[in-house]
Chain A
């Protein structure tokens, strides 16, 4: 929970000064799907998405839906595949980006997103994805260290 709050705070404050804002919450959601395959993880993913919608002013439910979908797919995939290796993790993050974009397209197709938002969403999702892929190893390393520290304590 603390990590989630920390990622939220970073995403809403410091990261805004960067020319391209990485989607740390998406990476965190993938992490939850790989390492916390439980109702708690699913709840966390939903809360992350809802929080994004609430703080950003996006339609409520839009990011909640996307994050829940990402968690579901990653959690199901991690039951079948051996995921905790760097290449697999990057593949999952890439898949998560595609799923996020796909979720927005789906919502717009069923009339839950206005047409005006569509091209903007598609553009920003793609840029955020590129930066997220670059940051994934760092974020995962930080999360692993954090969990190891929490276990020792």
Chain B
């Protein structure tokens, strides 16, 4: 018997368990509630193992999530930096465009005030020598510019054309010692010559001792020099000094145009009429 059981243990045990499982299924199918005598025991055995595995899984997941989150945060950070850089460039460009728009708007107003004549140009170069004050424009003979033409800005007179090429022109600034413009004091109509000095300031020359001039007076072009149109803004008197031994008053004028910061200019012929706003003072 033992030999028989030992020899056929596999089929016998398989048969037993098959019948047992069929019986269990049959019982549970017909029963009104679930009959599971060993279920509680199995759950209790598995419980600590499941707790351990779940805890390890949670910690690994947290660590991995943190690592991945940090890595993706880093990528996101770099991406956001790139976007910020790009947006800053766009914002900067927008500001530049806005400022250029404002300047060109003023230049257009001046152009219209002068009857729509003149050539708009941009300052593209400056004098390499400190005591000569010139600038270079990006337009020249081919665009209708000629020697001796006046160069104006919406804020006031810049200078005059002294040399020329087909595509470029050199402007002698009004603050240069070699320049000069025939001007009027707007209030008293006293006439004089504005010329630059080596230190960059401007003097109003040939104002006689008795002439009516004071600090704050506006100085405009007289139109009599045949270069600058009449009524263009030169600047404001900032100093008046009289010396007993001298025939003329010592008058300093602060130019209205910021010569170092000008970017767009209007080049006009000397016979161009003036009037209205934009550099012309009524």
Interface residues of A (CB under 8 A from B): 5-6, 8-10, 12-14, 17, 37-39, 41-43, 45-46, 49-51, 53-55, 59-62, 64-65, 68-69, 71-72, 75-76, 107, 111-112
Contacts and interface: CB of A to CB of B under 8 A. Distances in A.
A72 B35 contact: no
Given A12-B46, A54-B43, A68 B21 contact: yes
Contacts of A49: 21
Interface in B88-136: none
Interface of B: 9-18, 20-29, 34-36, 38-39, 42-43, 45-46, 49-50, 53-54, 57
A50 B38 contact: yes
B45 A38 contact: no
Contacts of A45: 17
Query: Interface on chain A toward B: helix, strand, loop, or mixed SS?
Result: helix
Nearest to B37: A60
Nearest to A50: B38
A17 B53 CA distance: 13
B49 A9 contact: yes
A8 B35 contact: no
A54 B25 contact: no
A49 to B, nearest CB: 7
A1 B17 CA distance: 18
Contacts of B35: 60
B29 A111 contact: yes
Given A38-B9, A42-B10, A51-B42, A9 B53 contact: yes
A64 B24 contact: yes
A72 B46 contact: no
Contacts of A54: 36, 38-39, 42-43
Contacts of B14: 42, 68, 71-72, 75
Contacts of A51: 42
B139 to A, nearest CB: 71
9 contacts: A13-B50, A41-B10, A46-B20, A54-B38, A59-B29, A60-B35, A68-B14, A68-B17, A69-B18
